[in-house]
């Protein structure tokens, strides 16, 4: 009788084997069920007790000398000693701060420090009102880990929005560093306004910095 055969008939097979339905007893509590099992099936009760004792033994971990003996047996299986540290302590390298390794690093702060050291002219893109609307080209004099920058010989370019254009036009001629207005066309052919001014020094907050990149332009 192959139940996976194409000729298998489930109805015919069920009629050959008459299985009594039987009645299952209902117990009012778990204690009544346990008493019933003790009286009717002693072997099952012994197996359940054995499993329960194993669970209790697993919960109670050995302490003191018993714990050390258990660890010794476990380490012996792995070919190690109990006193051997699990992780080797960090070894300080006396040559870890060599200039060669500092130059080899290529993180953002390392690149920023390189710009300061080499006095390279960079372009710093800044955000304003949730959009990158200005940039400054200049030489970074100093910086910190929060990207706060001090820039010299800077040229600031600012793209005012439509709402800010009137307000900006009022103060563009203020001294000592007035703005100079110029126009250009974007990729859609629309005329845009850009304001420029020269700054001998400028402090830039790190929160406003979006991107810093090398600039091949020279100071005007």
In the chain, where the domains are located: 27-58, 108-214
Per-residue pLDDT, 137? 92
Q: Encode burial over 116-135: b for 16+ CB neighbours within 10 A, e otherwise.
A: beeeebbbbebeeeeeebbb
Low-confidence stretches of the chain (pLDDT beneath 70):
1, 18-24, 57-63, 78-106, 129-130, 162-177, 217-220
Tokens of 132: 């990158």
Q: What is the pLDDT of residues 174-201, one digit of tens each?
A: 556 677 777 777 778 888 888 888 888 8
pTM higher than the cut 0.75: no
CATH of domain 108-214: 2.30.30.100
For every residue of 24-52, DSSP letters joined together read ----SSHHHHHHHHHHH-HHHHHHHHHHH
C-alpha–C-alpha distance, residues 197 and 179, integer Å = 5
Per-residue pLDDT, 101? 47
């Amino acid at each position: 009788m192959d139940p996976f055969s194409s000729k298998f008939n489930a109805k015919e097979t069920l009629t050959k084997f008459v299985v009594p339905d039987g009645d299952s007893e209902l117990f009012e509590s778990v204690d009544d069920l346990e008493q019933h099992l003790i009286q009717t099936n002693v072997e099952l009760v012994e197996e359940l007790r054995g499993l329960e004792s194993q669970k209790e033994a697993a919960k109670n971990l050995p302490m003191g000398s018993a714990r050390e003996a258990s660890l010794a047996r476990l380490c012996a299986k792995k070919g190690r000693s109990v006193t051997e540290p699990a992780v080797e302590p960090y070894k300080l390298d006396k040559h870890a701060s060599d200039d060669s390794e500092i130059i080899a690093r290529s993180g953002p702060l390392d690149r920023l420090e390189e710009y300061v050291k080499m006095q390279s002219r960079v372009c710093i893109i800044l955000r304003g009102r949730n959009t990158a609307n200005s940039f400054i080209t200049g030489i970074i004099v100093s910086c910190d880990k929060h990207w706060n920058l001090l820039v010299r010989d800077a040229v600031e370019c600012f793209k005012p929005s439509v709402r800010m254009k009137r307000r900006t036009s009022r103060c563009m001629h203020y001294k000592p560093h007035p703005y100079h207005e110029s126009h250009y066309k974007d990729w859609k052919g629309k005329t845009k306004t850009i304001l420029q001014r020269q700054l001998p020094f400028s402090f830039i907050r790190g929160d406003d910095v979006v991107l810093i990149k090398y600039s091949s332009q020279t100071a005007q």
